[in-house]
A and B are shown apart, each in its own frame.
Chain A
Amino acid sequence: MSDGPVGGPLLATGAGAASAIRRQASIGLLRNRAVGVTVFLVLLGIFFSGLAPNFATIGNINTIALNGAILVVVACAEAIVVITRNYDLSVGSTVALASYVGLDVVRHVPEAGPILILAPVLIGTLCGVFNGLLVAYGRLPSVVATLGTMSIYRGLAFLYANGGQINASDLPPWVARTATSHVFGISTLLLVACAVVALASLMLGKLRIGRQIYAIGSNPEAALFYGLNARRVVFAAYTMDGLLTGLAAFLFAARASWIVPYLAQGLELTALAAVVVGGVSVLGGSGTALGAAVGAVTLATLDNGLVLVGASEFTRELMQGAAIVCAVIVDAALQRRLRRLLKAVRDRRFL
């Protein structure tokens, strides 16, 4: 039985060739979603430059960078979890708990010095570990589990604070300097954000655990057949998420004039928005830390530009929501395309 005239799967008819090109194009899009966001960011920049004369100034770009830097860290944290096909809705509360309790430690032992950055980081990590236990080992749906811990962590922060607040003046000067100092003329905050993006990219792209994070988000059933330890990977993802969120909590505290338990309310949604706008699929399996970072900068730029053109806070909120919806529409369209691809090329059997 020869299939000479049929040829291999590569020998396509005219129609087949066209669909093959379309297929590769949409796969390319799937691969480089961050490129689209970056283009959008540039267009947004041009748009606001035309509308607000003080938008494209060094000073303002610096402001955007500083405002965006912390969100970049949180977005990277969130992205790691979202790629595994899970969510973390507790990042805002984690920031509140970690910054309040962590900086309270700093306030009480000021002589220990900058090593105490580890205090909020450790608390953030513990929050992540608990989330990870619930989702990976307790097998709770991540939305429900982290919705619960969102309230738990916030509640703990309020209980601990007991109506109090931590003023920036109570803290040793090195805390605030983290936000205001520069290294080689570049803001430390910005450098930290860049370092986080680099490390998260390295982890996701170059370490086995990182690739397994993608694998589990891409097809959990296949992960089982591959013998990957899905629980361990999801747990690790939440732990890293918590660690980075703890770091973000410290940065929040460093920029804030006072720390209160209702700090960073709604941050979980902004973080998710940044991740989605940055091209991380809400259905898992694709996206990058760099994309999430670009998404965070895009949201910061949008917010900043709208302030400069005099939009109200409500308009800004509305625009942020619109950006999320648009990003999810693009995501859904791409995922549909992916599913159709999988179906269309299911098989090319012979008689």
Chain B
Amino acid sequence: MTLTTLMTKAPVASVTPRLSVSGLTKSFGGIHALRDVSFDIAPGEIHALLGENGAGKSTLVKIVSGLQLADRGEIVLDGERREFRTPMEARRAGVVAVYQDPKLFPHLDVAENIFMGVQPLHRMRTIDHRRMYERANALLRELEAGLNPTTIVAGLSIGEMQFVEFARAMADGVDRLLFLDEPTAALTPSETERLFRVVRRLRNRGTSVVFISHRLEELSGLVDTVTVLRDGQHVTTRPVAELDQTAVVRLMVGRSLEELYPRDSGVALPEIETTAQPRGVARLSVRDLGLRGVFERISFEIHAGEIVAMAGLVGAGRSEIAQTIFGVTPPTTGQVLLDGQLVTITSPRQMLTLGVAYLPEDRDREGLIPRLSIMRNLIMPIMGRLARFGLVRPARERAVSERYASDLQIKAQTVDQAVATLSGGNRQKVVLGKWLATNPSVLILDEPTHGIDVGTKAQVHAIVRSLADRGLAILVISSDLPEVLRMGDRVIVVANGRLTATFTRAEATQESVMCAATRRLDA
């Protein structure tokens, strides 16, 4: 089979592809992650690998970069059939992958992270620290990373950590193939620009760079070729000129862009007890709220049935404001009123009983226990309520969690499946279900769609909208500007710990929100 494939292929291609995968198949416990995927990547091109979560992008990268072995199919690198058993083998062949969440050693410094395992050595086989720090410095300068090689990694931002990963890839002499798994998700625009400059330089030197993404915006201007995967299968590989965003989205999800963000959708929701409030009463009212040294003079109101979107730069203090309202860090000044009642905030437990729920951004660390089942996670906050005489009632727990699982369209075989095995979008639904079970009247969502695919995103939007329609007051913190504009009945903007603007839906535009977010208020 190998021979015939090679023989039929060789004369066809005018240029030997840098990477040619054919018939790549991989399944996990009966579920196909990849099914007979074949496509080529040309030398010295920037290639976008697009697809929803679960489309098989990550599996493909893991197989090519030596983290996993394919069940079937072959990988041909520069005309030579290869199979990498470890990431080290792939690195030695000039194939490197940089993953979305940096995998670094927090206790060690930047230079050590860059050169771990490949440190420059003296003749005596001891590490040549002087040369190591010099080379680290040179690499970081080339990447325009603005990092000091002696800084301990634990203190870096995720963006900065990614630059350490890029530097690591460069140190290994990545000369054939570089995979970047959603690199821009955690980068500032200036960091993104720097990254793109580096990527272009790499391409000019003949390295092929593969971007894995579902942020379609970043396609323009950078990428040469686009490959779309859907449900583990190859959909298309085409020059970027032949595609526009709408077309790409349609290929990714098999739906058009307009259908992606419906105002109303038929998503069924669990019954939520709501004490009907006239629309004019503020469910949540925040007056001159401040937390010393973090934010000050924050005032806004959210009415029943309203979605308020909070925009701002990351680091502006949005999550901090939300966590203060939820009682994680009680405020130092100002007032919070729930349904017109003044509340002295002391703890999250207190705010939960008062009907305030907060979905943190980092759902694995703060919102879910990955090793436990969907059911265990869903019923965690309401276990006391489901119990009778202090004894748990398994049948009741199962019934309740199965209802939430189906209402929120959590894709899983049973509710006993561990949360760790779910995709990002489905995990987010579990978090949502977990807090909905507490019957909140105020819901704060911190980056509810960060890192989840467009299809699930639309579902989450629809769910949130219908929750508002049921009378919840909802605060959505989002770094996704289109999402802010689409979801918010009103948009409030925070910059440097201060409220800089409030827009109605009609007033809010990309430009106006962006302006407010970058404004600096003095005194």
**Residues on A facing B (Cβ under 8 Å):** 1-3, 5-6, 8-10, 13-16, 18, 23-24, 27, 30-31, 202, 206-208, 211-212, 214-215, 217-219, 221-228, 281, 285-286, 338, 341-343, 345-351
Contact = CB atoms under 8 A, between A and B. Distances in A.
A47 B440 CA distance: 58
Contact of B103 (A226, A342, A346): A226
Interface of B: 66-67, 86-89, 91, 99, 103-108, 112, 116-117, 119, 121, 125-127, 129, 146, 152, 154-160, 185-190, 293-294, 311-315, 362, 365, 479-481, 484, 496-497, 513-514, 517-520
A18 B188 contact: no
Nearest to A284: B107
Given A211-B127, A347-B159, A350-B479, A5 B154 contact: no
Contacts of B188: 3, 6, 8-9, 348-350
B117 A212 contact: yes
A240 to B, nearest CB: 16
A348 B86 contact: no
Main secondary structure of the interface of B (DSSP, over half): loop
A349 B117 contact: no
A211 B128 CA distance: 13
5 contacts: A3-B188, A13-B497, A207-B125, A214-B107, A219-B105
Given A6-B188, A345-B155, A212 B315 contact: no
A180 to B, nearest CB: 35
Contacts of B365: 343
A226 B117 contact: yes
A6 B99 CA distance: 27
A247 B91 CA distance: 40
B314 A3 contact: no
A31 B152 contact: yes
A341 B154 contact: yes
B107 A286 contact: yes
Given A15-B294, A207-B125, A351 B479 contact: yes
Contacts of A349: 159, 185-188, 313-314, 479
Nearest to B115: A211
Contacts of A202: 126
B313 A6 contact: yes
Contact of B154 (A18, A212, A342, A347): A342
Contact of B155 (A24, A211, A225): A24
A195 B348 CA distance: 54
Contact of B66 (A24, A211, A227): A227
A215 B106 contact: no
Given A9-B159, A30-B152, A215 B314 contact: no
Nearest to B97: A225
Nearest to A351: B481
B319 to A, nearest CB: 10
Nearest to A18: B293
Given A226-B87, A226-B103, A228-B116, A347 B311 contact: no
Shortest beta-carbon contacts, A-B, top 4 = A227-B88, A222-B103, A227-B87, A218-B105
A219 B479 CA distance: 29
Contacts of B103: 219, 221-222, 224-226
Contact of A347 (B104, B107, B108, B314): B314
A15 to B, nearest CB: 4
Contacts of A286: 107
A234 B357 CA distance: 44
Contacts of A341: 154-155
Given A218-B107, A349-B186, A207 B293 contact: no
A77 B236 CA distance: 57
A15 B154 CA distance: 19
B289 to A, nearest CB: 15
Contact of B518 (A6, A206, A222): A6
A351 B517 contact: yes
B146 A5 contact: no
Given A214-B107, A217-B107, A223-B105, 11 more contacts: A6-B188, A8-B146, A9-B157, A218-B105, A219-B103, A225-B99, A227-B117, A285-B106, A346-B158, A350-B479, A351-B484
A23 B518 contact: no
A4 to B, nearest CB: 8
Given A1-B189, A219-B104, A342-B154, A10 B146 contact: yes
Nearest to B162: A347
Nearest to B168: A226
Q: Which of A18, A202, A228, A349 is most buried by chain B, counting CB atoms within 10 A of its CB?
A: A349
Contacts of B517: 351
Most chain A CB within a 10 A radius of its CB, from B86, B311, B314: B314
A273 B518 CA distance: 52
Contacts of B104: 219, 222
A173 B484 CA distance: 84
A224 B89 CA distance: 13
Contacts of A2: 189
Contacts of A221: 103
B518 to A, nearest CB: 5
Nearest to A346: B158
**Interface core residue of B86, B105, B119 (most chain A CB under 10 Å):** B105
B244 to A, nearest CB: 20
Contact of B159 (A23, A227, A348): A348
Contacts of B146: 8, 10
Nearest to B192: A350
Contact of B127 (A9, A207, A227, A351): A207
A204 to B, nearest CB: 11
B127 A206 contact: yes
Contacts of A343: 362, 365
A5 B86 contact: no
Given A9-B157, A18-B293, A345-B156, A3 B105 contact: no
B293 A15 contact: yes
A267 B159 CA distance: 46
A114 B197 CA distance: 65
A1 B192 CA distance: 11
B105 A215 contact: yes
A38 to B, nearest CB: 20
A226 B165 CA distance: 10
A15 B520 CA distance: 15
Nearest to B84: A227
Contact of A208 (B89, B106, B121, B159): B121
Given A8-B146, A18-B293, A225-B103, A346 B513 contact: no
